[in-house]
Structure 1
Amino acid sequence: MGDQRICNGRNVLKTLACPIEGTVFTPVPHRGKSPARNIRQVKGWAATRSRGVGQMDDSNNNVEPFPSMFLPENGVIPLHGHPRWSEVPRRSRRTDGGISRTVDMNLPQSTLHRRQSRDNASEVDNEAISNPREERSNLFNLATDSLQGRPNRLERPETFSGWLQRLDKRLASTVLVLLLLTLYFASNNLSVLFLDHSPYDLDSASPDGTLGILLHPEDHSYRRPRQLTEYWNVTSEYRAPDGVLKKIYLINGQFPGPLIECRTGDRLTIHVTNQLEKAEEKISIHWHGLNMRGANAMDGASGFTQCSIPPNRTFTYDFQIDSDSVGTFWYHAHSDVLRGDGMYGGLVVHGAKDRSRDLERYRGEKEVLFLIGDWYHRSAPEVLDWYMSIRGFRNEPVPDSMLINGAGKFTCSRAVPARPVVCHEKWRGKTPGLFDDSLRGIPTRLRIVNVGQLAGFTLGVSSGSLTPLTVDGGQPIIGTPADSVGILHPGERVDILLQWDKSIKLADWRMRISFDQENFKYPNLALQSHQSFPFFTSRTIDTASLMHDWEMGLETPRTPFALDKARADVTPPHNYDKIPHTADHTILLYVKTEQRSQFGNHPMGFINRTSWAPQATPPLPLNTLPRESWDSHQFIPFIPIPKSKPLWVDIILNNLDDDSHPFHIHGYNFYVLSSHRADHGWGSYSPYAKVGDTAIKPNLNLVDPLRKDTFNVPRRGYAVLRFRADNPGIWMFHCHVLFHMASGMTMGLLVGGDDGHTNIDSEALDYCRSL
């Protein structure tokens, strides 16, 4: 080769002098460390740790820092090939047995500037090698800095980071951990503003009172039907139902709203006035579970049957309770997400009773209403905005707290730094009782409603027994005594008979509520998912001791009752429809939450690839518009009502999500003929599948299925729901998880009408035009 010559029997570059005879350099993988730290001795050389790791020394203490990655076995040292090395040669000197040898190599340009005077000298610079330890340390630092792409440390002053790197690693780690802990506790203290006294109502439930709402069926079951008139004013105010200050909605200054307790046949006239301040705070009220037979316009579904009530306007709801609507119900806002900020209340309809037969029963049995649900410390619009944004990563927001009839207990120290709160320690660490002491030992009917936005829950007792009686709108079920009942999902209701165990001492009588965490995709340190409450006001419980019971497993249910496995009680005198073997009409649905580019990649709820939004042009409810003017967001199948007899309709609801979806139907009750959750795959079902399809075929229960208006469709599963279409109108059908409904997981059913055309509601249209 023209640029090489023979040296010790090997080819070397002409620019390099022959190395010492018998010396061989072997490259060693540096395994992620600096190349200069992995040089190994082969012949006559020693890697001396005392003189600096990675430097080679011979018997005359002459040192050269040769990086292993540039030392091939043929003796050639191609340092000039590295892009950061200068093309200007330099002579490096070493001696062996009194004979001076020279090796030409290329060093960084900065090194040449450093030692320019020595490069011009012809003799050995004794002063330069008078301190070999300092010399090799500087060369080692220069070599490693150049190889790692760092500036020459000899040309700049030492920085704080450089000084920190030279500290002992253990000391640096200790300092870092202490710094992080200090920042964490400082930010945590800043996330909570503790209040001892406040002008706001921080104790919405008195510690001397009870959490349960005592009902009076004896005042309604034996009287004649009558007219009930209410005047409601909707306002907002800052309150702290669980100790954390938040803006909530009030009806007549109450949270929850006023209790409606009535009987079948009563006529309700409720004048609702919106006294909110913001123009976007429009409201409507839905009567959850009532069939609203013959009163579709009073259903309260904004965008379907009415225009929302703007501020400073009034709307009157006027309807009669039909004979089929007996049981536990509730009402709540059905516009935007106002339900999440407290606009709801209890509604109980008692059936007509024979005074001579049942008076003694009510003397020996009491009824108590519990509105139980999850609670967020941020406003519902803020929570929805987080869910719809990229910050949520398509995860449903996990709640912060739990409320029973508008009251709860939050430990202020559990506040998360990312969500600062104004907090007040309610009840001073003591949890009040559920019942008045006068109910001790008396069998009590518990009417339970899940008013939450996301989470289902299980209810249990530490002593006594719970026997489920009815679900949703009064459907009797075959219940067995248990110590826990669940899971009750958002919108669902259950009536339970509580019977006392008089052998248990009073201090051990408590009720426990545990959130189902299936839809919780991330941990929320602020939430206490398991909470216990004493039965009676005379026996308050220390909250800390209750948490200890949960952690030790002392509150674990032993004999649970699964509501999704319950069967209807069809024995006389219970009224029960004769369910046909086949349906006259089938609606096949697929629901899923998806992110699509045309919606800005926000998580949107879809039913058969349609995401619902209110009618845009013109912005009127659907019952005021002809069907042909509805836009593409209105997925509303038509179901005719023949003159001969009503049709039986099947809704086959396939859930393609990893979340469960509690679906609620307006205007009807349906029979749950089948429900399935897949162990693998999507678990969907279609009656139109081809022959030989391996999809799971449902076993339809036509004997004793549950009759409900809200049912939880399991993740990656399906449900077959059947109802008799005999109630004309436009009825909403949607997921009752607030964020799923607000993101579009909604559709409707148009029942009756003239060949699929709507009957225009002139009164609703006149109201909308007057706004």
Structure 2
Amino acid sequence: MVFIFWFFVLDGLLLICMAQNVHHYSFFLRETNFTRLCTTKSMLTVNGSFPGPTIHVRRGDTAFINVHNEGKYGVTIHWHGVKQPRNPWSDGPENITQCPIQAGKNFTYEVIFSTEEGTLWWHAHSDWSRATVHGPIVILPPRGKTYPFPEPYAEPTIVLGSWFNGDVMELIEDALSTGGDPNISDAFTINGWPGNLYNCSSESIYTLNVTQGKTYLLRVVNAIMNEEMFFAIAQHNLTVVAQDAAYIKPVTTSYIMIAPGQTMDILLTANQSLSQYYMLSSPFFDSDAEFDNTTTSAILSYEGNYTAPTTPVNASQLPAIDDRIAAYNFSSRIRALATEEYPINVPQNITETQRLYVTISVNTIICSNSSCDGPDGNRLAASMNNVSFDIPTTDVLQAYYRNLSNVYTTDFPVRPPYYFNFSGDVGNNTLHPTVGTKVKVIDYGEPVEIVFQGTNVLTAENHPMHLHGFSFYNVGNGFGNYNETTDPSTYNLVDPPEVNTIGVPKTGWVAVRFFADNPGVWFMHCHLERHSSWGMDAVLIVKNGPTNETSMREPPPHMPSCS
């Protein structure tokens, strides 16, 4: 049986009548005024809210989202973590799978959910517009199924975001034109509010009301632009039960570390005395680069008769900002649930031709007469295997589908062009990358392993790497240089977590595996927005399989025009 959604727009509010299997949403992108930190600014939002509206579906459903662009510039929307089987046409990254929806135009995305279950999110995928254009996706179990844990009392969403007092589009355009580092954010937010630890922000705080004795499922999204984050609630333990819309063995902890792009489902039991408690989030950052060194706050407020404290309880459980051991200790505990009901499918055997060894670096591009604002008068850049990705003006998917020439080349290097001490004293041999629109072509159904190797080129830091069109298994990680002989023997091939975004440790490595069973054009990039803007990107093209059911779908009739 197929249900239908009916929509009514009343005074800017979107009213939705629930349906099953097929869902319809309308997104209106428009400039909206918001006041934070004593600053009122106009910013691009969806349906006038920051964060934007939550999409609710069930596992295996399909959603049609009609995006009306009433803003000033072209924009696209990406459905982060949704595999979109055979349907890259609705994946969303600008000039990779589509050209932008121009101002005054609209486009309907067909978002196909398959095995995802839990929390994902959607966001703009055009320049830096995702700073204000984003929102959660809640994927419930199929009807008649339950969670693999006791039913929670309520399921609030917690979206961590970045607040910039200026125009984010002007900010990144200025930085790219001068070659310098873009300005850092002015604050972090929880559900749109910076919290009362910032100056001129005493009234702007999100409050989550809870009933003593009840258990809540917090659906946490890191939509922050350029920082991984620690998150904790004073005097409360957190039990993480899912990451990136895949269930994991429960991990009970006093804090989490969550990278930009990642989501986590967390059970919270309100088992403390009646009072108000701080919910805090601060960055994890162990690099010499500039970053937003502030803390955002919200309040966990117990319902009942008591005198609220002047200041919420703050027995801080957040690690130090540069505590890489705390970050690693949390991340290393994540294991897939891997049960009969929630199985995993990890490639067990990888040949040399199926392995990509990819170095990720921050670099510079030489400017004539040292005329740029980056180090030594050069332009800041970033790369994968010493190739800084050049976004084309015609989208890669259209070029691939129509066999257009001079848009991309198929020579993305599957190994570093130079071998050196990646995590040590690297010198200048890969400081300046080549620039190109290079893709890697993969046969349908092939098992793939990618080893991401962090480097000490210019500025080393953690890199959250995201792959569109797939979830992948995090089978191994470590610090220092990856050893192709000994490190594969340490892999976890039994219950590795299935994720879509993975943090690569500073001057360390991460190995992921997946089956290339989703034909299409898929973007792979760092989810630190400044690194992606500088070129820490690549494209994987998975060829069609032997049947219609294993081949890319035909394009919809009205894709946005590139002209």
TM-score (norm 2): 0.79
Is structure 2 residue 377 aligned with structure 1 residue 586? no
Q: Distance in 2 between matches of 1:359 and 1:659?
A: 36
Counterpart mapping for 1:154-303 below 5 A: 225-277=20-72, 281-303=73-95
Residue equivalent to 1:668: 470
Residue equivalent to 2:440: 637
Residue equivalent to 2:506: 715
User: Contact 1:398 / 1:520 at 8 angstroms: preserved in 2?
Assistant: no
Q: Offset of 1:507 from its aligned partner? A: 1.8
**Residue in structure 1 matching 2:447, options 617, 633, 648:** 648
Larger strand fraction of residues: 2
User: Contact 1:455 / 1:519 at 8 angstroms: preserved in 2?
Assistant: no
Residue equivalent to 1:615: 392
Residue equivalent to 1:507: 275
Q: Offset of 1:448 from its aligned partner? A: 0.6
User: Contact 2:179 / 2:379 at 8 angstroms: preserved in 1?
Assistant: no
Q: Offset of 1:311 from its aligned partner? A: 0.6
User: Contact 2:197 / 2:297 at 8 angstroms: preserved in 1?
Assistant: no
| One-letter amino acid matched to 2:253 | A
User: Contact 2:94 / 2:395 at 8 angstroms: preserved in 1?
Assistant: no
User: Contact 2:196 / 2:203 at 8 angstroms: preserved in 1?
Assistant: no
Q: Distance in 1 between matches of 2:214 and 2:167?
A: 40
Q: Distance in 1 between matches of 2:308 and 2:281?
A: 15
Residue equivalent to 1:166: none
Q: Secondary structure at 1:611's aligned position in 2?
A: strand
Residue equivalent to 1:497: 267
Q: Distance in 2 between matches of 1:744 and 1:390?
A: 16
Q: Distance in 2 between matches of 1:541 and 1:596?
A: 56
Residue equivalent to 1:33: none
Is structure 2 residue 161 aligned with structure 1 residue 369? no
Q: Distance in 2 between matches of 1:471 and 1:492?
A: 7
Q: Offset of 1:588 from its aligned partner? A: 2.0
User: Contact 2:195 / 2:206 at 8 angstroms: preserved in 1?
Assistant: no
Is structure 2 residue 247 aligned with structure 1 residue 452? no
Q: Secondary structure at 1:535's aligned position in 2?
A: strand
User: Contact 1:465 / 1:500 at 8 angstroms: preserved in 2?
Assistant: no
Residue equivalent to 2:301: 535
Q: Distance in 2 between matches of 1:519 and 1:497?
A: 31
Counterpart mapping for 1:367-446 below 5 A: 367-385=155-173, 387-388=175-176, 392=180, 397-409=183-195, 413=199, 425-427=201-203, 431-435=205-209, 437=210, 439-446=211-218
Q: Distance in 2 between matches of 1:570 and 1:676?
A: 23
Number of residue-to-residue matches in the alignment: 498
User: Contact 2:45 / 2:133 at 8 angstroms: preserved in 1?
Assistant: yes
Q: Which has the larger radius of gyration?
A: 1
**Residue in structure 1 matching 2:337, options 569, 574, 582:** 569
Residue equivalent to 1:488: 258
Q: Secondary structure at 1:325's aligned position in 2?
A: coil
Q: Secondary structure at 2:249's aligned position in 1?
A: coil
Residue equivalent to 1:311: 103
Q: Secondary structure at 2:203's aligned position in 1?
A: helix
Residue equivalent to 1:66: none
Q: Offset of 1:248 from its aligned partner? A: 1.5
Identity of aligned residues (%): 23
Q: Offset of 1:766 from its aligned partner? A: 6.1
Q: Distance in 2 between matches of 1:433 and 1:582?
A: 49
1:507-560 deviations in Å (ceiling 9; x for gaps):
254423222132463476xx53263523347889789x46xx87xxx4145999
Distance 1:589 1:598, change over 3 A: farther
Q: Offset of 1:292 from its aligned partner? A: 0.3
Q: Offset of 1:725 from its aligned partner? A: 0.6
Distance 1:628 1:497, change over 3 A: same
Distance 1:270 1:728, change over 3 A: same
| One-letter amino acid matched to 2:299 | F
Q: Offset of 1:661 from its aligned partner? A: 0.8
Q: Distance in 1 between matches of 2:118 and 2:472?
A: 16
Q: Secondary structure at 1:767's aligned position in 2?
A: coil
Q: Distance in 2 between matches of 1:259 and 1:487?
A: 23
Q: Offset of 1:721 from its aligned partner? A: 1.0
Q: Secondary structure at 1:576's aligned position in 2?
A: coil
- Choose 284-293 or 631-640, whichever is displaced more: 631-640
| One-letter amino acid matched to 1:375 | W
User: Contact 1:650 / 1:722 at 8 angstroms: preserved in 2?
Assistant: yes
Structure 2, unaligned runs of 5 or more: 1-15, 320-325, 373-377, 410-435
Distance 1:659 1:361, change over 3 A: closer
| One-letter amino acid matched to 1:707 | E
1:624-660 deviations in Å (ceiling 9; x for gaps):
542643246222111012xxxx211011111114111
User: Which of 1 and 2 has higher RCO (CA within 8 Å, sep 6+)?
Assistant: 2
Q: Offset of 1:696 from its aligned partner? A: 6.3
| One-letter amino acid matched to 2:213 | G
User: Contact 1:262 / 1:350 at 8 angstroms: preserved in 2?
Assistant: yes
User: Contact 2:346 / 2:514 at 8 angstroms: preserved in 1?
Assistant: no
Q: Secondary structure at 2:449's aligned position in 1?
A: strand
Q: Distance in 2 between matches of 1:571 and 1:754?
A: 29
